[in-house]
Amino acid sequence: MARARLDGLQYYKYHASSMSEVLVAKPFANWSKPFVKWAGGKQALADRLISHFPDRFDTYCEPFVGGGSILFRLRPKQAIICDANGWLMDTYIAIREDWRKVARILDTLRNTEREYLRIRKIKLGDLDLFHRAAHMIYLNKTCFRGLFRVNRDGRFNVPFGDYDRRYYDPEVLEQAAVQLRDVQICHGDFELGLANITSRDFTYLDPPYYRLGGYSDFNRYTPLQFRAKDHMRLAAVCRELHDRGVRWALTNSDTPYVRALFRGFRIRTISARREINLDSRKRDISELLITNY
C-alpha cells in the first residue's frame, strides 16, 4: 500500500498491476452492494441518478461517500472518495487492505442485545483498524433501522434493533475490496475531498440533507452536524467549481432554501423513499437533483 499527501489530506491507495485482470480472474455476477446501511443512501436511485451523469470524465470524485451506493454502481476507473466520518473511512480502508480479516472478526460477534451493548461501549481508540471496521459493520447492521448516529462526544448511541438476519455478506466485502483497489480514500471535510479536482473530472455531491423535519433529519453522522451555514458553503463551492469548468451533480431535499441556494442551475425533481421514517405514510417524498451541465 502506498501512502501519500493530497494538499494536506492523507489518503491511501493500492497499486494493482491491472484492474481488468483482477476482475476477469474472478468475475462477479453483479456490482458490489454497499456493505453498510446508510440513512439517505442512494441504492434505490442509483441507476436513475447515473443516467444523468456525464458519459466521460477522468476521475470520479465523491466527497460525501456515505455507504457508497453510487460509487459501487458506477464502477469508475479512477475515483477519490471522502467523508467527514473517520470511522466509516477507516472501514473502507480496512476492507480494501484485508476484507478477510474483517470477516473473521465479524464471525466472532453474536447478534444478541447483550453482545450489541458490549460492542457499543468499546472505545474506538482501543481497537485496531480491522476491529474498528468489524464493529462499524456489526453495529450498523444490528442497530435500530440501520441508523448511524453519534452523540457530541462521537460515541455511537443507537439502540439495538433485534433483527433476525445475517449482518454481513462475505461476497459483498470481497467485491467491495476489488472495486476499492485503485480508489483514493480520504477522511475530512468535503472541500478537502475536492482539493485537486479539474475540469476533466466529475463530482457527485450527496450531503446530509437540509432539514425537512421529523425523522427525515438524521444527520448526526459525526460529532459536528451539517448545518445551514455548511449548505451555504457547499453552494459557494459548487459555483466556484462551475466557474472552473468542473461538472457536478448534487442531490438534496426539495425545499425553497435549497432551490434558492442553487438558483440558476438545472434543477430536477425526483421521487424517492425514506425508509428511515417511522411513519410509513411519509416515506415517499421528492428530492432534488441539481446539475451544472
Domain of 149, CATH number, reads 3.40.50.150
pLDDT digits (tens, 9 = 90+) for 16-60: 333 332 222 333 445 688 999 988 889 999 999 999 999 999 999
How many separate domains does the chain show? Answer: 1
Comparison of pLDDT for 89 and 213, the residue scoring more: 89
Percent with pLDDT over 90 in the chain: 68
Per-residue cell: 266: 438545472
In order, the DSSP letters of 129-167 are HHHHHHHHHHHHHHBGGG---B-TTS-B-PPB----S-S
Domain that holds residue 175: 2-291
Length of the chain: 293
**Amino acid identity, position 201:** D
Q: What pTM value is reported for the model? A: 0.83
- Average pLDDT of the chain is 85
Q: What is the mean pLDDT of residues 68-88?
A: 96
- Residue 69: CB partners within 8 Å, gap ≥ 6? 34, 38, 41, 42, 43, 46
Nearest to 61 by CA among 261, 241, 230: 241
The pLDDT-based confidence of 6 (bands split at 50, 70, 90) is very low
Q: In this predicted structure, what is the pLDDT of residue 24?
A: 29
Cα 240-243-245 angle, rounded to 5 deg: 115
b/e sequence 42-76, b meaning 16+ C-beta within 10 Å: bbebbeebeeebeeebebbbbbbbbbbbbbbbbeb
Q: What is the mean pLDDT of residues 163-192?
A: 94
Question: Residue written as cell 443507537?
Answer: 158
